[in-house]
Amino acid sequence: MVIAIDGPAASGKGTLARRIAAHLGRPHLDTGLLYRAVALALLDRGLPLTDSAGAARIAEALDVATLEEDRLRSREIGEAASLVSVHPGVRGALLDLQRRFAAQPGGAVLDGRDIGTVVCPEAEVKIYVTASPEERARRRFRELAGRGEPTTFDDILADILRRDTRDSERSAAPMRPAADARHLDTTSLDADAAFARALDMLPAGV
């Protein structure tokens, strides 16, 4: 069974996907990390984020084993990931990798922006997770402050709004809910309550 969890930055989709995967004993892939890894590799090589051919070459050679890198989770790399994710060559290269992950025996849980629409349109379970931009900015602010990254709430809110616009307006695999996705608004839910709601969305007996 493939479980597709999509939604905007800091909506709670990553935490939810990890918990569902642990609960079901299935592997989990945070697909945002793939785009972040491509962006980080470009920056490390001194290449511009607009270099679509260079970005696609990096995406084709991406090693999933490098996704543990702490630097991937910074604010700068989130923004850079959104810029490289518009290149169709990058998306195409990462598509195969994501589909292979989803095709594991027993299934998998994937979270991102286009899992239910493009990567795994046949997924048995699709959940589209949202929360208000202000609540998402509060969460991201707490997370980055906890990591010691200097930032302000207003800057994070501006980042989030800019990324929402770019991710939903790009022509290649824009962020949007699949027609058959269940919607989960986590604005006033903590992680436990969101997890409980998501469990109700799984088919009986899993």
Q: Residues annotated in the binding site, as ranges?
A: 7-15
Smallest distance, ligand C5P to C-beta of residue 172, A: 8
Q: Which stretch binds ligand C5P (CB under 6 A): 81-89, 126-134, 144-152, 189-197?
A: 81-89
Q: In what order do the strands lie in the sheet with 108-112?
A: 28-30, 108-112, 2-6, 125-130, 182-185
| Residue 85 Rama label (left phi>0; alpha psi -120 to 50; beta) | alpha
CA pair distance 105, 160, nearest whole angstrom: 36
The verdict on 9 binding ligand C5P (CB under 6 A) reads yes
Q: What is the DSSP letter of 181?
A: P
Q: Which residues between 100 and 139 bind ligand C5P (CB under 6 A)? A: 112-114
Q: Which stretch binds ligand C5P (CB under 6 A): 77-85, 124-132, 142-150, 151-159?
A: 77-85
Q: Which stretch binds ligand C5P (CB under 6 A): 41-49, 79-87, 125-133, 195-203?
A: 79-87
Q: Which residues between 142 and 201 bind ligand C5P (CB under 6 A)? A: 163, 167
What stretches of the chain show up as alpha helix (H) in DSSP?
13-24, 32-44, 52-60, 75-84, 88-102, 133-146, 153-169, 191-200
The verdict on 11 binding ligand C5P (CB under 6 A) reads no
Smallest distance, ligand C5P to C-beta of residue 87, A: 10
Half-sphere exposure of 62 (CA within 13 A, CB side): 29
Smallest distance, ligand C5P to C-beta of residue 182, A: 18
Q: Which residue, 32 or 107, has its beta carbon nearer to ligand C5P? A: 32
Listed residue (117, 119, 136) closest to 128, CA to CA: 117
The verdict on 141 binding ligand C5P (CB under 6 A) reads no
CA pair distance 10, 5, nearest whole angstrom: 13
Q: Which residues, at least 6 apart from 138, have a Cβ–Cβ distance to it below 8 Å?
A: 153
Smallest distance, ligand C5P to C-beta of residue 192, A: 21
By CB under 6 A, name the binding residues for ligand C5P: 9, 31-32, 35-36, 78, 81-82, 85, 112-114, 163, 167
